[in-house]
Structures are given as C-alpha cells and as structure tokens.
Structure 1
Amino acid sequence: MRKIIILIIIITLAILIVIFFIINKKEPINSLIGTGAIISPTGNVIDWEKSSILGVQFDDQNLLVQDTVSSKTLVDLMAEEKPIKILIVPGHDEKSGGSEFSGIAERKLNVQLAYYLIDLLKEENNITADVVKNKDGTYADWFNQYLEENKLEIILFKENSRKIMEKTFKDISPSLNSFIFNNAPEETSLNLYAINKYIDDHQIDIVLHIHFNDHPRKNYNSKGKYSGFSIFVPDSQFLNGEESKNFALAIKNHLETIIPKSTHPLESRVIIEDQKLIAIGANVSRQNVSALIEYGYIYESQILSKNIRDVFLKELAFQTYLGIREYLRKENNQDTTLLPHTWDKNMKKGKGSSEDVLSLQMALKQESLFPPNNKSLQECALDGIFGNCTNQAVIDFQEKYKDETLEPLGYKKGTGFVDSLTISKLNELYSQ
C-alpha cells in the first residue's frame, strides 16, 4: 500500500513539472500582463515600453507624449471645413443596470437624450456624429464587431493603460477631487475600455457620455435629497484634462440656464475632475476631449412627469448642442426649444405639469421674471408645474405689461391667473 502511495505522489509530481514547463513555454497572457510585454494580433511579443499604445511613444531614453487636440486645433479643422468627429455614449445597459425610480430606467433616458442630441449634430455640415448604441439600448453592430475583432487588444489596452499611468505619470498627484463611484462590472469595464480604444483608433475628437444621477439611501422608493446636474472630466494633470474642462464649461453655461447645479456636496463645483472614471479616461486611456454629464437626479420632477419628460429631454439635448457649438466657436441663433410657443388655454396655480406651463416658465425667464424674487432654479425649477414661483412670476409679468393685461379689466395688481389678455400678450411676444 505504501509503495502505491509513493508511486502516485511521484506520478503527480511528474505531471505538475510537465505542466509547469508547458505553461512557461507558451507564455500565457496572464503572465505577460504586468511584466511590460504585450502580444500583437499575430502572436508576437512586444515590449510596451517601446510601443505607441494610447498615442504615447516610448523609447529607451526619453518619454515622448503626443499632444492632445486643443481648442485651436478643432477650430482650425472647422475653418478648413474638415469634419469634427463626435461620439455619443449613452450610459448603462440591461446588464450594468443604472439608476431606476418609479418605473423609469436611466439607461432608456440616456439613449433617448442621446438620439435627440445626435439629430441636432447631424444637421451640422462639418460635424460627423454617431451613437454607440441603437435606439433600443443594445450596442450598435459596428461596435459589437469592433469588440469581437479586437478583444485581445482591448484587454491589453486596459492593462497597459495602468502601466502607462504608473510609469509615465508617476509625478501626477492623486486627485483630491476624485469622486467615489461603484466599481464597474468586468464586462462593463471592458466595454468602456473598448470605447476608449475605438475613440483613439479612429481619432474621435470629442466623446460625450450621457447619464442621470442617483444616490444611495435606505428607501429607494422615496425621492433622494439631492438634485441638479454635474459634469465629470479628466484630471487637469492628464493630457486631455484642460481642454475637456473648457468643453465642459461651454456646456455648463447653457445647461445652467434651465437646470440647477448639483446640491450634492461632492458635486458642488459642477465641473468635477476625476482620475478613475473609465468613461472619461481612467488610467490615461483617453486622448482628446472627453466628458460625462449627469443631467440631474432621476427622481426630479421634470423626469417623473409623463406630460413634459419628452419635451424636457429635447431641451436638455438642445442646450448641450448649443454648448458644443459654443465650444467650437459657432454662433447660436436660437437659445431654447421651448419657444416660440402659442398658448390658447387659461392657466392657473395647480399641481399638474404641462408643456404650456413649461413654455410659460421659459417665457417668464426670458423676461428675467423667473425665478422670481432673486430665487434660484434650485428653489424654482423649470418643471412645467404652476406653483408659487410661477404664480409670482405671472403677477410680475402682468404688472410689467399692466396697460395691456390689467388696466382693461380695472385691476391695479397682478392676479397670477393667466387669462385671455395675458395670453394675448404672451403670444404677441413669444409665439413667433
């Protein structure tokens, strides 16, 4: 019996030794990742320190980094009538989830807004734009094909992004501004790195990720306590950080005319630099302009309302479009999709939301009357609800044009009730 046991041990050891040599001879991918080597599609082992992955060129003596596209370069391309390439990435899918509230799925909102934006961008002669997903939220065929044909390179791209971060940017300070995100699932992470690699491979000038926010709380059936929008960009120490921030600023300038800035303490700066968010280039995996917009929190009234959700998403897309045009130094001839508008029904204070009231709020805003009494959009949202803020703004409008809206009725003070005379004045100013 003892001899049999010894024989089994010897055979087992022999098998393990053979396996060891076979593994070392084949040099599996896992052993190469982290050693400074990569494998090309042809099977050749390449020293990443002498490669140009991610647009970063290494040699034995010096580290040479390609310049990121600057605003001047993009403007020059526009002047030369060369198209600017833009890729829109609506966040999340059925596997990675995203926020949900009251039956509303963030991933669907993201896609809807993305296609409203892409329709606007495609009207521009010198902009080529695409969305990475279909309208049903599935990845586009061209992206699935790219992912399938380049999966190994994408995995290595992901690993070598970290290598480059460590070797090239060892002098970069850890970001004090870095926001805390849930770690992306492996498949989601790979898809995001695939998008980043595609962007660099195809020299995309601008990439914009679309999201809606949420925050952890005990009861997800109740609304959270935060609201407002924020924009995430690469850390300013990254190659594309400064220009991405300029891009985000242009969009912020337009979004803040219709939605308030985030009230979350960690988002109070609105434009937030981050080193670890994959979508905007974690581990320096992105070049050129990159940003991720959180268009407010998913439980905010404009999103919850079936009556105005669609028109409000269109307005968010339009303001983003105006921001992109501003960044590219193009003049904007229109500043909202909510006007012109024709009113034909009386309106008064109430709880429901409507497109008529939403356009009324925008008209009052154009008159510098909304929000009233120096309040903010955080206190008085553009939400299509005829509440106290809208009521006061209507009173101020009526008193501003009292000779046409009040005096014919013998009134000296505004009523807040939008009657035929007030409607007539609104239509005179904002229906054409």
Structure 2
Amino acid sequence: MDHYSAHSSAHAAALETDSEKYLGMAPWPVSNLLKSTKRKAVSDYEAPRKRIKISEEEIHLRYDQIKRPNALKRRLRDESEKALSPEIGNVFSDDKLPRKRTRISEEETLPTKHQIQVKLDRFPKRESKSLFSPRSAWALAKSLFKTKYKQQDQLGEGGCGSVYGGYRRFDKLPVAIKHVPKKNVVWTDADENGRQLSTEVAAMLKLEIERDRSIGRSAPISLLDWYDLKKELILVLERPVPAVDLSKYIEKNKKPLDENQAKIIIKQLVHAAKHLEDNKIFHRDIKPQNILIETGSGMPRLRLIDFGLSCFTDQTSDGCFYGTERFVPAEWLSEGVYNAGPATVWQVGAVLYETLHKKEFNSVKFVKNKRTISKRLSRDCRSFLKRCLTKNSGCRPTLEKLQHHPWICENTGSVR
C-alpha cells in the first residue's frame, strides 16, 4: 500500500509539472495546421478529384479556349495550313484561304488562277445600288410622280397606251396621265443633256419653248411632266375641263354638224396642223378621236392630242404607215408611199367629212366611190372637201393654201 501511494504521489507531481509547461507554451498557428494537412477534406457525396500534371502549353491552350476563342480558331487554322502542302496556298491571290480544306492526292492537279477566275465569272454580279444606278433612278422617278400627282379613273385606252384622269396635288389642276409601255415607245437621238427621249416627248417639248405660258393657249395639248420608269413612260398632260373628243361631240349633237359649226372646228384644225408643219412635226394620226372640243364657252375650242405616232419631217421614212387604217391617204393605197404635207391635208378632209355626214369616213371606200360628198352642202364647202380628198397627192393643196380657201375665210365669228 505504501509503495502504491508513493507511486501515485510521484505521478501526480509529474502531471502537475507537465501541465504548467503546456500552459506556458505559445499557441500553434492554425495556418500551419492547415498546411500540414496532406489531403483536402471532401464532402460525403463528392469523390476526390484526381490530380494530373498540366504542361505550360496546355495551360495557354485552355486559356485561349475560354478567353480568346477567335484567336484559338485562327491559331488552329494556321497550324492546319502548315500541315498541308504549301502549293495549295499559292493558288489563291490573297492570304485568306477557304476554311474548309481537303487534301489533294499526288495524282490530282491543282487549279490554276485562270480556272478559278472562270468559275467566279459564272456567278452573276449584283447590280449596283448606288444613287446613280438605273434602279435607283426608276424608283426616284416613280416616287416623284406619286408625290406630285394623284391618278384616278381610266379615261381611255389605245394602241400605244392607256390614259387616266388625275390632278396635280398642290393646285388641283386637272391632268391626263398617259402610261406608255416601253415596247411601244419610238426613241429619238439623245438630247443636249445626253438623255434619250421618246418621239412623242421630243415633239411636244419642241412645241413648248415656254411651257407654262403655252398651257391652255395652243391647239396642241401641253406636256407638263414626263417620267422614265423601268417598263413604261409616264406622260402628264394638260386636261381641259369640260371637254369631249370630236366623235362624242358629234354624237351628242345627234346629227351631223351644220356647216358653220364644222367650219369653226376645221379652221382651228388647219391652223394647228400648219403650226406643226412649221415646226417640222408630222402628227400622222389626225382623226376625230384625237381632237378635243372644249365646251366650257359658247364657241367650241379645238385641242389636238395624242402625239404617240408623231415624227419629225426631216427623219427618213421606214416605208411603213403609222396611223388609223381608215384614214390612210390614197397615195399609200395605190403606191405604198406618203408624205407629211399631203397626208395631213387628206386627214383634215377626212375629219371634215365625218362632221358633215352620217356615215363614217373610210379611205378605201372613198377611193372606190362607195363614199361620196353630200350634195346638200354649199359649193365652197364641197370645193374644200374635194380638194382635200383629191386622190392624186400632187394635186392636193398645201395647208397654207387651205388657210386662204374661200370657205375657211368666210366670217363665222372669232374663236375665244
């Protein structure tokens, strides 16, 4: 018992001494404790990752893949190009090569620059969309037309095109809008500005030196504007209101006109035709449907329309007749030729015939004596008709002589 007690006392004294030493020691840093840990603690559901050694090149590759993907693509492409034959790169004129590449076997031949250019030429080139391209000019012309004018109902349709009513937006001026397909347009030489004009536009522009002053004052109708589009020409013309064409004017009368009424109209027609002749313009299609009669005043006023078949008298004839078949001059029926002056006089006579007779005029029937001049007409009127419709063009009077014919010179009142 004494031995056990002594041993217990010694153990207690040693324990006390160790406790004092422990308490006197400096505390161990926690960071050192963590550094000494050999394995990172993981949760129960996550397995420890396997550590692998990555080279410096792979580190840069992964950085490029995350931070600079485009640079990585270029780098990989450059490496693939180096792996291919250098001759392939020489085929192309610039440094950029196609992204999709195929290796070429030794048996295959590389394309030459000429072969590549031939293939490229097969692809259609895109039309320029610059401000001065034809497409832009057509679009601009159409936009200007719609901005300036309002088109309404159709007024009529002929062999050359169709005509619509309308008005000018800023002052509500009534206009006639004529649409002429490009296939029906007869072109003249280029004007002083290098623009190619249709014969109809060129003739009407020549008649109007001062366009604004001529509106409503000349027998030929005035051209206000014209627009050259991709598939058609648009002509904006003066439209007298109220007015009807001569054929409807006669129908409205319900019987042929009397001589005095016809004389007022024919006198104006002769003066209008002489005005065209002085400007070397040949209308070629004078007929009742191309003559407007203004009915807004007591005295009928004549206006000449539709210059679609007109031409200049100094132009060479192509041996064809242009106009309405039933008003063709007699010399064309017998010889196949006609000239501006005599043909115009023939058509003036044909218009007068229709105003004074129930039956419509027809050149073929008149030449064959199936159409005759009425005997109820005055002697001077019959003389005027016979001279205009002389079958021999050489014996036909000129327009100037018609202006001085006794029947025309008789006083019938002034035209307002």
What interval of TM-score do these two structures reach, taking the shorter chain for normalisation? under 0.3
TM-score by length of 1: 0.23
Larger Rg computed on CA atoms: 2
- Larger RCO of the pair (alpha carbons < 8 Å, separation 6+): 1
